[in-house]
Structure 1
Amino acid sequence: MNYKEDRRYQAPRSAVVLMNRVYKYILPEVRTELDKWRETAKLIPDPELRKQALASIATKQFHCEGGAVYAAVNLPGRHILIPLIVAYQTISDYLDNLCDRSTSMDGDDFRLLHQSMLDAVDPSAELVNYYALHQEQNDGGYLHALVTTCQTYIRQLPSYPSVLPYIQDLVKLYTDLQVYKHIRPELREPALLKWWTIHKHRTPHLQWNEFAAATGSTLGVFMLFLAASQPRLHDDEASQIYAAYFPHICSLHIMLDYLIDQDEDRIGGDLNFCNYYDNSQMMLDRIAKIVEWARKDATTIPASSFHRMIIEGLLALYLSDPKVSEQQEVRAVSKRLMKKSPMTRLFFFVNSRWIRKHMYEK
């Protein structure tokens, strides 16, 4: 990717510059977009769909904020990237809520709902009734509006044809994961293991739960959106970016998410990929190894310092979460992961805590 000389097009080379852009542009503009979707969600006729749409925005705002950090690389293009990332992540969070809290455990229902994510990344796709197999259906056009918003902004990305095959691969894997992890509890693990046998040749060094975690991240999609915002992106560059993010950076993202959610998932009866290690030491060793692989991958693509900051930011964001202090085992693992942290991670750790304390207060 050839960034223009204009500094606004350049990947931030330091954590201070990155966070300055985050505070000045990313956070305010993400929240403006989410406010629009919140007002739209309030008009959803069906009470259950309205409840889940509003809850997903209220409790998962940081997903959109974290994803939109990629727009900090191309500030002039952020007026395309931020609305696109927010709309796409809002679909993901909304459907996750629907599937997690649904009375349905029908895999066909979940697959049709997630067809919306596949359609959202294909500007030529036609809308369908994504709720056709779902008990609640009347969302007043909310999901269709999210999908068409994604398609509208994608059409403005000059190099999108180069990244489309890689994005579609990631979204198909994401859809499979969401189907298999939300069906009846006794069927989930066998379905995931069978699915893994089809794909394990792609990541033979990963355990099945680590591969599954990699498919649950949207970071690869967001990075490819960013890449597509640059003119004249070559197919081999898109392939290189895809390989740098999937599986390791994506796997790290979701393993950290599951790490801090263990108590919450246990109470909710939800599947958690951190529960498939023999003990906490093995879990720590594997996550540390994934960090090592992710850092190595980050050096293979342009603006590698930015991608290394993404990795350190992920560790800081999740390990600074209040949920960590509430779980003894997680707290112990977190301390060991943070031991001898580089200054960049500590900087992001402090900023993550400040943002939670001062910017999430109502």
Structure 2
Amino acid sequence: MPADFLYPASGLTLLPEFIRKVFPMVEQELSSWQRYAEENGMRELADQALASLHSKKFHCQGGSIYSLYKGVPTREFVRLIVALQTISDYLDNLCDRAGFTDEGAFRQLHLAITDALDPATPLNQYYINYPFKDDGGYLTKLVNTCRDEILKLPAYHLVKTELLRQAVLYSELQTYKHLDLAIREKKMLDWINCHLPKYQGIRPWEFAAATGSTLGMFMLCAAAYNPKLTQNQADQISCAYFPWINGLHILLDYFIDGDEDRLSGDLNFVAYYPSHQETLDRLTYFSKEARRRIALLPEPAFGLTVVNGLLAMYLSDPKTDAPAERAIRDSLLDSAGLYPRFMYRLCRLLRKKSIL
């Protein structure tokens, strides 16, 4: 059996392989996309492509943990993860940094996400409503790279509907969250309230947070490498990730960015909690619910490593060293157990060495 198809028995073996084997693959893929962006397209779009590759590299690093899922050919899956996450990060920059807030333009740009995950559909013209249009084929090349890898998934038909549903929700969030401040919140609440009745126990901005994660998409693609995947297993994965693991991911992301977003006036879902205690209670709730759902999944040890890794990666950020954030951080780690704290210390070390 090829080495790429061996699955580490626990996080203790998964993490060293992740750092030693997967991180260099991620660097190679990012370097390839960087060269393409440097050599092609108009400067305005190339600059945004390069900025997203540089400042959001850790998104690709973190997402590539799924390349070590059982049965997944690691290098091929890293290629898919990096391409799909790079589309996400690049479009985020295009919507956030161009001084431009047109809903139709943002919606059209994000058709790249669903196109990337549905090889059967014709490609759209992503820049048709955007002020800059010539990216030298960068976005289309990213989309086609994803489509090439999607075609290799033997059980894709079992995950396609849910995968595209999450991709559409992600695209809708990105469209609304970048609108002008005067209309953004109402537009988002109208959209959220159409979906919220299906999800008991979560609040409007927690639903929005869950739509903002790509982890559920990555996991569904990884699961689809298994030709023996059943519809029931695919459904269990969907229910664990959306809204729980996805929600935990993005709530942690917004938690560490609270002060920055407050100063810049950027939207922050955690800021809707009325107190630090409420923030801690809800993050703890999502963490515990994610763990409960993971126990029902194929390869639960892998899922637990993902959730522990989310806590460790985000809570190891120096932005959690401020007194209020530190208190929440320490309480979350205490409630999660010894192993997440070990991973947290490892992530602190990786940050000091500029590996993470």
Q: TM-score, normalised by structure 2?
A: 0.96
Q: Equivalent residue for 1:260?
A: 256
Within 1, Cα distance between the matches of 2:18 and 2:97? 32
Whether 1:347 and 2:342 are equivalent positions in the alignment is yes
Whether 1:140 and 2:151 are equivalent positions in the alignment is no
Whether 1:102 and 2:98 are equivalent positions in the alignment is yes
Structure 1 position 59, deviation (Å) = 0.9
Structure 1 position 6, deviation (Å) = 7.8
Deviations 1:158-204 (A, max 9, x none): 11111110100100110111111111112111111111211012212
Within 1, Cα distance between the matches of 2:71 and 2:32? 21
Q: Which amino acid aligns with 1:352?
A: C
Within 2, Cα distance between the matches of 1:113 and 1:175? 9
Structure 1 position 357, deviation (Å) = 2.2
Q: Equivalent residue for 1:202?
A: 198
CA, structure 1 residues 340+210, in 2 after alignment: closer, same or farther (shift >3 Å)? Answer: closer
Question: Does the 8 Å CA contact 2:117/2:164 hold for their aligned counterparts?
Answer: yes
Structure 1 position 324, deviation (Å) = 1.6
Aligned pairs for 1:75-154 (under 5 A) are 77-154=73-150
Structure 1 position 31, deviation (Å) = 0.8
Within 2, Cα distance between the matches of 1:34 and 1:7? 23
Aligned pairs for 1:1-362 (under 5 A) are 9=5, 11-74=7-70, 77-325=73-321, 327-339=322-334, 341-360=336-355
Deviations 1:139-163 (A, max 9, x none): 1000000000000111111111111
CA, structure 1 residues 6+143, in 2 after alignment: closer, same or farther (shift >3 Å)? Answer: closer
Structure 1 position 257, deviation (Å) = 0.1
Count of matched residue positions in the alignment of Structure 1 and Structure 2: 356
Within 1, Cα distance between the matches of 2:286 and 2:74? 30
1:295 alignment partner, SS class: helix
Q: Any unmatched runs of 5+ in structure 1?
A: none
Structure 1 position 329, deviation (Å) = 2.5
Within 1, Cα distance between the matches of 2:76 and 2:41? 29
Within 1, Cα distance between the matches of 2:16 and 2:27? 17
1:351 alignment partner, SS class: helix
Deviations 1:221-249 (A, max 9, x none): 00011101111322222112111111101
Q: Percent identity?
A: 42
Q: Which amino acid aligns with 2:75?
A: H
1:246 alignment partner, SS class: helix
Structure 1 position 93, deviation (Å) = 0.6
Q: TM-score, normalised by structure 1?
A: 0.94
Compare 90-99 and 338-347 and name the one that shifted more. 338-347
Structure 1 position 8, deviation (Å) = 5.3
Structure 1 position 75, deviation (Å) = 6.8
Structure 1 position 137, deviation (Å) = 1.1
Structure 1 position 340, deviation (Å) = 5.1
Question: Does the 8 Å CA contact 1:255/1:274 hold for their aligned counterparts?
Answer: yes
Compare 81-90 and 238-247 and name the one that shifted more. 238-247
Question: Does the 8 Å CA contact 2:71/2:225 hold for their aligned counterparts?
Answer: no
1:229 alignment partner, SS class: coil
Question: Does the 8 Å CA contact 2:41/2:135 hold for their aligned counterparts?
Answer: yes
2:189 alignment partner, SS class: helix
CA, structure 1 residues 149+233, in 2 after alignment: closer, same or farther (shift >3 Å)? Answer: same
Structure 1 position 338, deviation (Å) = 2.1
